[in-house]
Structure 1
Amino acid sequence: MGNNEDEAMELPKRAARLEWNLNTIIQGVTLLVMGIGGVTIWVEKSRDIEELQSWRKSVEQSQKDRLAEFRERDGRTEERFRGLENEVRKIDNLTYRVTVTEQSTATITTAIKDLQSLLNAQSGDLKVVREILQRIEASQRDGAQLRR
């Protein structure tokens, strides 16, 4: 019986009422705003990531293009340097040729001076020979005149 008495004394249980007080409304709004904010942040973050990835791809492509352009310029510069090296070799060859020509000219000049001095000496010798011949002829004439 004790158990029945306890049941009789208790009030019947009421169904729980849904109460909307100020705290519940604020929490609901806060949850809704946080959800919307989270979705907005996620969408913005996804958009920013896509923009950064497209920017990164364009920068990488730009770097590839610049690298290709640099290599092309480097190749053209290398060709120019090769051409200049050939021209410098020609200049070096010309310098050698001019040096050899100057040495030859100096040798020829020395030989011409020696030849001139030899000619001058022979000229002097020829004058002496002519004088001797003239004296011999003169003496032969004088001897022929005396015999007559």
Structure 2
Amino acid sequence: MEINVVFYHPKNPQNLHDVAALAASLRANLYVIPRPGVDYKLEMLQYRARTRLKIVQSMAEAVNSIGDAVYTVLETYGDRYLHEIEIDGDKVAVIIGAEDYGVPRHVLDSLEKPIVVAKIPTAVQGMSYNVAASLAMALYEVVRRFRAGTP
């Protein structure tokens, strides 16, 4: 299974480091779409986290680089819960967004690949978990299903 993570406009360098560590632990490709004006010290991040880090300038560039895959976006405006979506195939991409504004709908609407927008249950509707915690939950679900052989 090939796992890809796309992080759109990260705001907090520590969250980016945590996401990179999660991606590295699964040997996943990490595509970062930098937030304009934020310096992440990416050279140090790539060395320390030993991740397969790729810097891209847009969501379309990330999707074009990944190619055919099952694309799942984690967003509070998702229409299904993460555990309800199908994750079949041997190539998966999990897309996470900026800590303060996520992935705007217009960014997703401009893509040509089918994308599922999913949410993780929370006690209060519209609230969300920390971006690294959300990614950890999603990656756990992806790997669990792959190992169990169920979509």
Q: TM-score range by the shorter chain?
A: under 0.3
Structure with greater strand share of residues:
2
Highest relative contact order (Cα 8 Å, sep 6+), 1 or 2? Answer: 2
Larger radius of gyration: 1
How high is the TM-score relative to the length of structure 2?
Answer: 0.14
